[in-house]
Amino acid sequence: MYKSYDAFCDAMKQSSIAPGNPMAQSLETARSHQRAYLLAIGKLSPKPLVEVNDVKLASARDEVCLRILRPDAVATRSKPMATVVLVRGGGWWSGTLDTHDRTAREIAVQTGCPVCMVDYHHAPEAQFPTQRDQLISTLSWLHSSEAGHLGLNGRRSILFGESAGATLSLTASQYCRDTGLPQPLAMVLFYPNAAGPNDRSSKYSHWVWEQYLGSSYGDISKPEAVPLMNAMNDLCPIWLGVGEDDPLLFDAHALHEKLTNAGVPCTYKRYPGLPHGFVGFSNAVKPANDALMDACEAIRQFASSDSIQP
C-alpha cells in the first residue's frame, strides 16, 4: 500500500493504466477506459469474501439492477442489521456494479452490514430525476418481503454515497422528507457535488452537470437536483468526508455549514493530501484507506444506534 497519493500517481504513470476522459474521448471509449482503470486498481489487494446476489428491480424509472453483498449470510439472514445502500460516484456518466464492487465488499466486511449496490442509469442517456427516482425505488424495495428474505432491513438503511452518488443520496433524502416517505437512518457521504455548476466549477464539472440536467442546465430550472438549493432541515444524521485537494472542498464546507445551521447532526472530516474520488483507490493508498475506515466506523455507530426511522 502506498504511503501517499503522490506515490500512487507516480506508480500509475509507469503503467498503462489511465482513467477515461469524456472531454477528449467518445463517451463509449471513456466509459471503457474508466471501467478498466477502476477494475485494475481494485485488483491491487485481495477482495474479501462475501455472499453476493444480483437483483433486478422494476423502479418508477425503468428497471434498475441491484447487487446484494453479505459478509456473513447466516448472521444477516437470521438477524437483519442496518443495510448500507451504496450509491457510486462517476459523474453520473460512468461506473458499474463491478467497478465499485471492491469498495462494497470492504464496507460489508468492515462493518458487518449487508450492502445493497444501486446500478442507476448513466447520463446523458438518462437524466434527472431518473437516477434519484431509481434510488428512491430501491429504498422502498428494501421494505419488501423479498429484501427481508435476503437479509436486508429497510427500516435501518444507511446511504453511502461518493461524489455524484453523494449528491443523489442528498436529493433522494430531501425528496423523501418533502413527500413523507421514510428517510434513511443516516448518510455517510464523500465529496458531494452539492452546489451545482457555478463560477468555481471546472469545464469537466460543467460538462457533467449538462449531461445530468439536459435542458435544465444553465438556468437550473430543476433546483431539486442541487442539494444546496434546498432546505437541510429535518434530514437524518450525516457523516461527511472530503480531501483538502478536492475542487469540491467548497461544496463540502458549505454543506456542513448549512446542515449545522439547520440543526442536522453532521460530522465533518477533511483529509490532507487527498484529491477528489479517493475512495476508489482506498485499497492502494494508506491515507485514503484511513478515510474509508473512518467512514466504516461511522456506519458501525449509526447501525448500533437505537433510533429507527418511522
In a domain, 308, yes or no: no
Count of Cβ atoms closer than 10 Å to residue 101 Cβ: 21
**Total tally of structural domains belonging to the chain:** 1
Q: Is residue 12 part of a domain?
A: yes
Instruction: Give residue-wise pLDDT tens across range 160-199.
Output: 999 999 999 999 999 999 999 999 999 999 999 999 988 8
134 domain residue, yes or no: yes
Helix (H) or strand (E) segment spanning residue 256: helix 249-261
Gap between the Cα atoms of 57 and 68, Å rounded: 12
Is 70 exceeded by the pLDDT of residue 224? yes
Would you place residue 221 in the very low, low, confident or very high pLDDT band (cuts 50, 70, 90)? low
For 69-108, how does the pLDDT look when each residue is reduced to its tens digit (9 = 90+)? 988 755 555 555 799 999 999 999 999 999 999 999 999 9
Widest CA span of the chain, in angstroms?
52
pLDDT of residue 75: 52
List, in order, residues 6 or more apart from 301 with CB less than 8 Å away: none
Distances (CA, A) of 151 to 71, 72, 163, 201: 11, 10, 28, 41
pLDDT at 79: 57
Radius of gyration of the chain (CA): 18
CB-based contact 67:119 (threshold 8 Å): yes
**Greater confidence, 200 or 258?**
258
Q: Give the distance, in angstroms, between the CA of residue 242 and the centroid of all CA atoms in the same chain.
A: 13
Side chain identity at residue 141, one-letter code? W
What is the pLDDT at residue 106?
93
d(CA 109, CA 75): 13
C-alpha cell at 165: 452518488
Residue 269 has pLDDT above 80, yes or no: yes
Cell of 97: 456494479
Omega before residue 124 within 30° of 0, cis:
yes
C-alpha cell at 110: 468492515
pLDDT of residue 129 exceeding 90, the answer is yes
Q: How far apart are CA 84 and CA 188, in angstroms?
A: 9
**Cβ of 243: how many Cβ atoms within 10 Å?**
25
> Is 40 a domain residue?
yes
Q: What are phi and psi of 134, to 5 degrees?
A: -65, -35
Question: Is-contact 242 271, C-beta < 8 A?
Answer: yes
Q: Angle, nearest 10°, between helix axes 286-303 and 101-111?
A: 50
- 143 or 219: which leads in pLDDT: 143
Task: Give the domain range for residue 56.
Answer: 5-17+24-303
Peptide bond preceding 129: is omega within 30 degrees of 0, i.e. cis? yes
Note whether 42 and 101 are within 8 A (CB).
yes
What local confidence, expressed as pLDDT, does residue 217 receive? 76
> Considering only CA atoms, which of 126, 131, 118 is closest in space to residue 65?
118
Cα–Cα distance between 7 and 26 in angstroms, integer? 30
Helix (H, G, I), strand (E, B) or coil at 289: helix
In a domain, 221, yes or no: yes
Residue with cell 442539494: 227
Answer whether 76's CB lies under 8 Å from 114's CB. yes
- Beta bridge partners of residue 119, listed in sequence order: 65
**In a domain? residue 309:** no
* pLDDT at position 15: 77
Which three cell numbers mark 114?
449487508
pTM for the model: 0.94
pLDDT tens column, 183-194: 999 999 999 999
How far is 170 from 172, CA to CA, in rounded Å? 5
What CATH number is attached to the domain comprising 98? 3.40.50.1820
In a domain, 71, yes or no: yes
Q: What is the pLDDT of residue 238?
A: 98
Looking at residue 80, its pLDDT comes to 55
Tell me the three state secondary structure of residue 3: coil
Please indicate, yes or no, if residue 179 is contained in any of the structural domains.
Answer: yes
DSSP-derived letter for residue 15 is: S
Q: What is the pLDDT of residue 310?
A: 40
